[in-house]
């Protein structure tokens, strides 16, 4: 689905297609609970400022989500218009509203309470924004030199413009949120924060790329996806050449193949262990990558990476076949005996997930309340759920903020 033109006339034309459904299935599909029908109604009458207020009230990172959300799997998947043509392009409308109006949040009177947030990624920002609106002072501790986590650090500029991130961050600022950059929080520091603040939220994200299950020779050109993308985005890696082989099937893997081509790779190959039907990458990003000439290999798993004489990698793969797994939504896979083959690449990138720093939080958070029992510590975002969408992280941050507010009252 191509993006609607970001002009008022096109936006109004799209808004007029909306049925303004009473039961609002689109809103139920939005993890942040944005009142979609309401903001689209405002756009229909060219009231962009009111549309943005509806979005931002529910989602402090509405601009980022209006750019990155896999809406085909969320609000747009639920849209009634799927039954009579095409769904309303909700994400594009949200993107327009957030880019074309000013916004400042409504603030409750100061509570006199202070909360700490560990991590300035989407979960931490969602939590901090809501706590500040509820009247609390918030100190945000971030290990990096900037906020927005993977959005700022890893997602290529071709997918999200820096100005979108800057706008959302600027609209969080209300004099009640202080950012402490380059300030990693250890388990010991977290204990100190729990003493110092009325409530603490840990939305620290995932710290390390997973590289497990593959025999990797020392010195072979192998990188974890998040580090690879971060190095490309920061300019630490100026250019790449030859063939880049990316192992994985999520949106990060798609980002890695596209960013590789953008940085000069002659060929980018995506190797995934199951079929396209099981691939977690959203259709829009997948088809965009395919359109750029990314080569796709399905139902293969790497088993070993050797270093070649020219400093490249020789990756041994095994072919898989799909198997039904009772009780599981996705089909599983198993290796086909004797199916090994080798592929050479200048660079191998593993995009098979990331690990949390499990030692950071003592105790297990409750999945509903997000609170670690018997403490003033709450946990959410990727650290807890293993990695989800930006909007799901924001939603968890919001949920934690409501629980922290109740604790602090």
Q: Which residues bind ligand SF4 (CB under 6 A)?
A: 18-21, 24-26, 36-37, 40, 79-81, 88, 90
> Closer to ligand SF4 at the Cβ: 83 or 327?
83
| Cβ at position 78, least distance to ligand SF4 in Å | 6
> Closer to ligand SF4 at the Cβ: 36 or 127?
36
Place of tokens 């099981």: 278
Closest to 363 (Cα-Cα) out of 355, 353, 380, 375:
375
The Cα 237–Cα 231 span in angstroms is 5
| Cβ at position 399, least distance to ligand SF4 in Å | 23
> Closer to ligand SF4 at the Cβ: 166 or 284?
284
How would you list the strands of the sheet with 199-202, edge to edge?
A: 177-180, 137-141, 114-118, 199-202, 377-379
| Cβ at position 82, least distance to ligand SF4 in Å | 8
Residue nearest to ligand SF4 (CB): 26
**Percent of the chain that is helix, strand, coil (3-state, to 5):** 40, 20, 45
| Cβ at position 91, least distance to ligand SF4 in Å | 11
- What tokens were used for 384? 């807890």
The Cα 305–Cα 302 span in angstroms is 8
| Cβ at position 40, least distance to ligand SF4 in Å | 6
> Closer to ligand SF4 at the Cβ: 80 or 227?
80
The Cα 333–Cα 325 span in angstroms is 9
Strand 300-307, strand 313-323: pairing: antiparallel
- What tokens were used for 114? 């202070």
The Cα 22–Cα 177 span in angstroms is 37
> Closer to ligand SF4 at the Cβ: 18 or 270?
18
> Closer to ligand SF4 at the Cβ: 37 or 123?
37
- What tokens were used for 286? 């997948």
| Cβ at position 10, least distance to ligand SF4 in Å | 16
> Closer to ligand SF4 at the Cβ: 79 or 305?
79
Kindly report the backbone phi and psi dihedral angles of residue 204, in degrees, each rounded to the nearest multiple of 5, phi listed first. Answer: -75, -5
| Cβ at position 100, least distance to ligand SF4 in Å | 19
């Amino acid at each position: 689905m191509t993006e609607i033109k970001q002009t008022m006339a096109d936006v109004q034309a799209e808004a007029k297609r909306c049925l303004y459904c009473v039961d609002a299935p689109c809103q139920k599909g939005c993890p942040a609970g944005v009142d979609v029908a309401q903001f689209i109604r405002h756009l229909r009458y060219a009231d962009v400022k009111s549309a943005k207020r509806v979005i931002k009230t529910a989602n402090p990172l509405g601009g980022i989500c209006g750019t990155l959300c896999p809406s085909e799997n969320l609000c747009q998947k639920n849209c009634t218009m799927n039954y009579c043509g095409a769904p309303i392009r909700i994400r594009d409308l949200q993107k327009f509203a957030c880019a074309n109006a000013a916004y400042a949040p409504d603030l409750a009177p100061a509570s006199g309470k202070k909360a700490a947030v560990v991590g300035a990624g989407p979960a931490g920002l969602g939590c901090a924004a809501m706590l500040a609106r509820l009247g609390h002072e918030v100190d945000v501790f971030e290990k990096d030199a900037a906020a927005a986590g993977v959005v700022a650090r890893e997602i290529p500029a071709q997918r999200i413009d820096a100005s979108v991130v800057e706008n959302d961050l600027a609209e969080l600022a209300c004099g009640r949120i202080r950012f402490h950059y380059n300030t990693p929080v250890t388990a010991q520091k977290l204990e100190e924060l729990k003493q110092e603040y009325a409530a603490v939220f840990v939305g620290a994200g995932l710290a390390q790329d997973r590289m497990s299950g593959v025999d990797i020779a020392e010195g072979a050109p192998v990188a974890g996806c998040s580090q690879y993308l971060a190095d490309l985005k920061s300019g630490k890696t100026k250019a790449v050449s030859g063939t880049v082989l990316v192992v994985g099937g999520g949106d990060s893997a798609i980002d890695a193949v596209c960013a590789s081509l953008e940085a000069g790779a002659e060929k980018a190959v995506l190797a995934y262990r199951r079929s396209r039907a099981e691939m977690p990458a959203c259709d829009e990003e997948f088809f965009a990558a395919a359109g750029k000439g990314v080569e796709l290999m399905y139902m293969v798993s790497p088993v070993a990476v050797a270093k070649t004489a020219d400093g490249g990698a020789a990756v041994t793969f095994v072919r898989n076949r799909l198997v039904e797994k009772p009780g599981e939504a996705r089909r599983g896979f198993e290796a086909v005996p004797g199916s090994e083959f080798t592929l050479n690449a200048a660079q191998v990138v593993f995009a098979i997930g990331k690990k949390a720093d499990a030692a950071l939080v003592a105790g297990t958070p409750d999945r509903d309340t997000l609170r670690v029992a018997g403490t003033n510590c709450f946990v959410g975002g990727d650290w807890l759920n293993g990695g989800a969408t930006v909007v799901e992280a924001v939603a968890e941050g919001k949920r934690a903020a409501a629980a922290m507010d109740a604790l602090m009252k």
